[in-house]
Amino acid sequence: MLSRTRAIVLHLAHHKDNADILHLYTKDFGRVNMMIYGVGGRKNMLTKAVLAPLNIIGVDSHFDRAEAIQRVNAQAIDLIYSNAQTDIKRNAQIIFMAEMLYRLLRHPLADPQLFDILEQRIRELGNANQNWHLSLLVELMMSLGITPQLDAKATMLNMYTGELSRSTSHDIDHFEPEETEVLQQLLSGSEVSLSRTARQTMLRKICRYYEIQIDGFVTPRSLEILQEVFD
């Protein structure tokens, strides 16, 4: 049966000849990988720009959960929202967050609420501040079930247990008390003022927390590019 779903573009990779593999996070089917034909062809208006990271698209397909890679023609896809940015810092945020989502959202399980959160945050990016990616990563912890214990006075946060403590060995990955307070503020949606150095440190530590909490997760190399751009 033909189904239509909204999807967030995570990654587009060339496969062979006129075929590409499109990695999506969809509202109705969760993570979906599609073999798509004819992108950029002379008779097709669907271009790679339409399938840029974090664009929101509509897809018509016969989704088969038994298939690891769905097959779809380019004509079955249309653009709903383009996240194209001329600002180099915004583009760096887009590339980084698309890679993070590509590595974190791996399961073909629908989570419409998470999709709606991501779509709303993507649409806000044009007017967002420099902490956009930080606040989204902290908010994403709730949906992935790895939210640390943040309901007490800010103290050191152990990345392995996700629990607060008055002190911890400096050999153990942790958030310092002031960093734990920033996590609390981001999670509550409060505005946070951070220096460039503090922002970089927080981002590295949040990525490290994901590495510890999510099996197989590795921080993307685009983290280095993002930090260089913001320098």
pLDDT tens digits, residue range 155-191? 889 999 998 887 766 778 999 999 999 999 998 888 8
pTM: 0.90
Q: For residue 69, what is the DSSP state?
A: S
Q: Which amino acid appears at position 222 of this protein?
A: S
Beta bridge partners of 8: 25, 56
Kindly give, in sequence order, each residue whose CB lies less than 8 Å from that of residue 29, ignoring residues fewer than 6 positions away.
Answer: 5, 63, 65, 108, 110
All structural domains of the chain with their residue ranges: 3-81, 129-230
Residue ranges in the chain modelled with pLDDT below 70: 1, 41-44, 168-169, 229-231
Per-residue pLDDT at 1: 64
Asked whether 220 and 96 are in contact (CB, 8 A), the reply is yes
The rounded distance, in Å, linking the Cα atoms of 17 and 197 is: 45
Q: Which CATH architecture has domain 3-81?
A: Beta Barrel (2.40)
Percent of the chain with pLDDT over 90: 52
The rounded distance, in Å, linking the Cα atoms of 140 and 118 is: 9
Per-residue pLDDT at 120: 95
Q: Where are the alpha helices (DSSP H) in 67-195?
A: 88-104, 112-124, 132-144, 177-188
208 C-beta neighbours (distance < 10 Å), count: 15
Tokens of 185: 């503020």
